[in-house]
Amino acid sequence: MNAPAGAAGTPEPFLSVRDLRVRFSTEDGTVHAVDGLSFGLERGRTLGVVGESGSGKSVTALALMGLHDRRTASVTGEVLLDGHELTGAPEKKLERLRGNRVAMVFQDPLTALSPYHTVGRQIAEPFVRHTGASRRQGRLRAVEMLGRVGIPQPARRVDDYPHQFSGGMRQRVVIAMALVCNPSLLIADEPTTALDVTVQAQILDLLGDLRQEFGSAVVLITHDLGVVAGTADDVLVMYAGRAVERGPVREVLRDPQHPYTRGLLDSVPRLSSDPEEPLVPIPGAPPSLLVPHPADGSRAPDGGGPLRGCPFLPRCAFSGRVEGGDRCRTERPVLPAGRGAACHLTERQRRTAFAEEARPRPGRP
Ligand X SMILES: Nc1ncnc2c1ncn2[C@@H]1O[C@H](COP(=O)(O)OP(=O)(O)OP(=O)(O)O)[C@@H](O)[C@H]1O
Cβ–Cβ < 8 Å for 181, 130: yes
318 binds ligand SF4 (CB under 6 A): yes
Residue number, 17 or 177, with CB nearest to another protein: 177
We find the least distance from the C-beta atom of residue 279 to ligand SF4, in angstroms, to be: 21
We find the least distance from the C-beta atom of residue 174 to ligand X, in angstroms, to be: 17
Q: Contacts with ligand X in 33-72 (CB under 6 A)?
A: 33, 51, 53-59
Sheet holding 46-50, edge to edge: 102-105, 185-189, 217-221, 46-50, 234-239, 242-248, 340-341
Residue number, 31 or 210, with CB nearest to ligand X: 31
Q: Contacts with ligand X in 306-335 (CB under 6 A)?
A: none
Nearest CA to 58 out of 189, 234, 183, 226 is that of 189
Distance between CA 285 and CA 67 in Å, rounded?
A: 28
Q: Which does 129 bind (CB under 5 to 8 A by kind): another protein, ligand X, Mg ion, none?
A: another protein
Distance between CA 358 and CA 365 in Å, rounded?
A: 14
Angle between helix axes 197-214 and 167-179 (nearest 10 degrees) is 10
Q: Contacts with ligand SF4 in 333-362 (CB under 6 A)?
A: 333, 343-345
We find the least distance from the C-beta atom of residue 333 to ligand SF4, in angstroms, to be: 5
Task: Report helix, strand or coil for 291.
Answer: strand
Using CA of residue 40, residue 103, residue 81, residue 305, what is the dihedral sign?
Answer: negative
Residue number, 113 or 237, with CB nearest to another protein: 113
Nearest CA to 115 out of 63, 155, 173, 61 is that of 173
From candidates 313, 339, 340, 357, binder to ligand SF4 by CB under 6 A: 313
Residue number, 97 or 345, with CB nearest to another protein: 97
Angle between helix axes 167-179 and 135-148 (nearest 10 degrees) is 130
Residue number, 194 or 204, with CB nearest to another protein: 194
103 binds another protein (CB under 8 A): yes
186 binds another protein (CB under 8 A): no
Positions in the binding site for ligand X (CB under 6 A): 24, 26, 31, 33, 51, 53-59, 223, 289
